[in-house]
Chains A and B, each alone.
Chain A
Amino acid sequence: MEQEKFYYDNKIVKMFAYATIIWGLIAMLVGVLAATQIAFPWWNFNLAYTTFGRVRPLHTNAAIFAFVGNGIFTGVYYSLQRLLKARMFNDVLSKIHFWGWQLIIVAATVTLLAGITTSKEYAELEWPIDIAITIIWVVFGWNMFGTILKRRTSHIYVAIWFYIATFVTVAVLHIVNSFELPVSFFKSYSVYAGVQDALVQWWYGHNAVAFFLTTPYLGLMYYFIPKAANRPVYSYRLSIIHFWSLIFLYIWAGPHHLLYSSLPNWAQSLGTVFSIMLIAPSWGGMINGLLTLRGAWDKVRDSAVLKFMVVAVTAYGMSTFEGPMLSLKNINALSHFTDWTIAHVHVGTLGWNGFLTFGMLYWLIPKLFKTEIFSKKLANTHFWIGTLGILFYVIPMYWGGLTQSLMWKEFTPDGFLKYPNFLETVTQIVPMYHMRLLGGLLYFTGVLFMIYNLFKTTVKGTFTANEEAFAPALEKFNPKREKGEGFHRWLERKPVQFLILALIAILIGGAVEIIPTFLIKSNVPTIESVKPYTPLELIGRDIYIREGCYNCHSQMVRPFRSETERYGEYSKAGEFVYDHPFQWGSKRTGPDLAREGVVTGKNYKPDSWHYNHMFNPRKVSPQSIMPAYPWIIKNDMDIDNLRGKIRAMQKLGVPYEKGYEDIAYRDLMKQADKIANGLNDNGIQVNDNKEIIALIAYLQRLGTDISKTE
């Protein structure tokens, strides 16, 4: 058979690898800053751009899309070419993909710190960037599929199955979750509201973990572990079964983020049972990774690359067991809204994603530069310091999460909450936040070692941008199934059919959960007394969103005695029908705010308290770890878009009467005057056009609609 000569594009791999390292460094540094802010609130610097509510979304987005994202592309561009014996489809597309993705990350960094956000977790970027992401993602898919179609191998390997599923699912998730109505270039409202918005968001949020942090990395695992260990994959049959079961089942599990919320019970139950059914498919990946090393365990002792990979796969196994356990309602009742979730996530990201990336880079960079790693000893040191970092991170977070949860739920023999003051439960676990910071710093130090080591490796090696390779051209083959050829084996040489089947597999779960929630009215029973926000409250709500309050405050009282005693009546689905977007939150670093405005409620605070508290939380609660928001006191409200905002809400079905946009300003000023006058009476000099007035209006509205009927 005649061998064709061609060249692998190593330059694009190198570029993505460097981007992975640089963004990894930044993402983790921002993570360290966020951890410092929780431990020592003055690290918020009293500056809008550096408060936790803006820093935390930057950390999550940078870690997921910049660090892991570039890690995916590094591994895919390297392995895809070699598994298919072909150069990437088009060098220009590769470059557009690379630079487009980096530009998106830069835009994300700037906009998130500027407070431009949709407030939907891991999808905070505003609509122009959402469009850019869609375009660049399509470029990636086009380039990948082009390469697959012009391949020189007959079949596609399991790693590529995972790449295909990743591409198609992330596209669907991103597009569906990003439906939003623009008000201006930097502001939009989610087209979904309340319960529906929450369901779509967590269908997205959960599957961002599944199809951005998991499936592409399983693909990388299937390439880099056998390569690094020079061992065959343990079981082809297991690959097939766990691949299809994983992608089919994963998509259903989103509602486990909304257990005990106002989401309909049937949807919650689907979230629980599909999470439980995910244990075996997830572990299928772990088994296939670890058992591939059978016969090569002696190599693991010496090789930092394999050590990183073994711990990565083990961390994957642990977090994919823990995840389903946290989806059981009785365990979720304990873990949800606490740092337990943060610990769980970081086992996955620091352990699975981080360590697999490091292992890949330690293997890949010497390969690209045709040399050995500069220092094996330093790589091993990185491994140990990184492992220690993970332990110092997650153990205090598990401990703190459980401690705080138990404190929230504890009653005295007299039937009162033992810790009615939320702050007590925070103060209790602040030492854990200090330990966590130490863990993060250790992990970060390890990355610095890696950068030095890899840099020295590149210096001593020589890089070949275009690596020569030979392979015979692909013979024309029978498109029909051949005699004795299994269905799956046939599918492996039909990538388009493969893509379509994967698409069908991932569409079913989402459709079954999302469509009825939108169409069947009983899922969100109407509450007559629930009315749209006033214009001032709407402006206040946009400030709440801008400052990322949802990062630390939930707006969802769960139906537990410990929560209704602490916060008031539990939340009902019908209360959120005008919430574009929903603000339920996922973590309570501070107390729930769903009933904040209820005057007869458990936590009611007068306007003047809010004013003082926003100006400096420590003035009213000395041990508070909340950032200060002096600029909200100082800034004028932005009402330029008021008319557009009301009109946008009308388009989304919020029943403001026709022509209301013309008189909204008058109503806004009336309400603002009243609040400002009340504050003036309490000795606080403030103008009625300041942001704080709108924010107070919003906070005092929260949860009040249903108490009117009581």
Chain B
Amino acid sequence: MEENNINQDEIKKEHEIDELTNDRFIANHEYDGIRELDNDLPGWWKWLFYISIIFAVVYIVRYHILKTGDLQEAEYSKEMAVAKEKMPAQSDESALARLEDETNLIAGKAIFDKNCVVCHLSKGEGLVGPNLTDEYWIHGGSFKNIYATIRDGVPVKGMISWKSQLKPEEIQQVSSYIMSLQGTNPPNAKAPQGEKYVP
């Protein structure tokens, strides 16, 4: 084997130098033709190691011995407190009423498409949730009724509360949009549920 033709006596010599790098070989270290150089650990590498160890010690001391750093539960409480402080004041919901202008209905449709179609399908014809296009309502068909159903939900029946996802104005828009679906008679609509609502 050509790469193994290193003269055995030469290896034994101390302080033999590698021609290409001028580094010193370690005597008697030869494995299947592989030799080893006597280089020291690079200085930057040692510092990298020392610094990482110091980091580790400081980290453990700070969080678990001095306990001056926040652990995850404390971090969470602070995050929630800050968020609560920043929350804008809620507007007066009792003043909200049905909207019938195009801009608001388009906005309502966008909210509906994004959040409601999963259960009520894209035309409001109903699937898991009831048909929203007929005159029958399980929780009442007035604006106030629909608004309250969306805001608080009917959890046991699978209608979640949307107050943590939609602003009052947005609930107003989507409620108005739902009311605008009355009598659209989409194909494959779900059978009526609840009571007939007479305004």
| Interface, chain A (partner B; CB < 8 A) | 79, 82-83, 85, 153, 155, 157, 223, 226-227, 230-239, 241, 245, 260, 265-266, 268-270, 272-274, 276-281, 283-284, 287, 291, 294-296, 329, 411, 413-417, 420-421, 424, 559-561, 564-565, 570, 599-606, 608-609, 612, 619-621, 682
Contact = CB atoms under 8 A, between A and B. Distances in A.
16 contacts: A83-B32, A227-B3, A232-B35, A233-B36, A265-B63, A268-B72, A269-B60, A274-B56, A276-B56, A284-B41, A413-B88, A424-B114, A560-B76, A561-B80, A564-B80, A621-B118
Nearest to A277: B52
Interface of B: 3, 18, 20-21, 23, 25-26, 29, 31-42, 45-46, 48-49, 52-53, 55-56, 59-60, 63-64, 71-73, 75-76, 79-80, 83, 86-88, 114-115, 118-119, 127-128, 155-158, 160-161, 164-167
Contacts of B64: 265-266, 269
A458 B37 CA distance: 36
A-B residue pairs, 10 tightest by C-beta: A606-B158, A295-B20, A280-B49, A273-B56, A559-B76, A157-B31, A235-B39, A236-B36, A232-B35, A82-B32
Nearest to B80: A561
A424 B115 CA distance: 11
Contacts of B88: 413-415
B20 A296 contact: yes
B138 to A, nearest CB: 13
Given A82-B32, A416-B165, 12 more contacts: A233-B37, A235-B38, A260-B72, A280-B49, A417-B165, A559-B72, A559-B75, A560-B76, A600-B155, A601-B155, A603-B160, A612-B127
A241 B59 CA distance: 24
B160 A287 contact: no
A272 B31 CA distance: 38
Contacts of B86: 415
A287 B63 contact: no
Contacts of B60: 269-270, 273
A382 B45 CA distance: 34
Nearest to A562: B79
A291 B41 CA distance: 12
A609 B73 CA distance: 34
B75 A230 contact: no
B184 to A, nearest CB: 20
A157 B34 contact: yes
B196 to A, nearest CB: 20
A609 B52 contact: no
B164 A277 contact: no
Contacts of A329: 72
Contacts of B3: 227, 230
Contacts of A565: 164
Contacts of B160: 601-604
A238 B41 contact: yes
Contacts of B25: 232
A233 B26 CA distance: 10
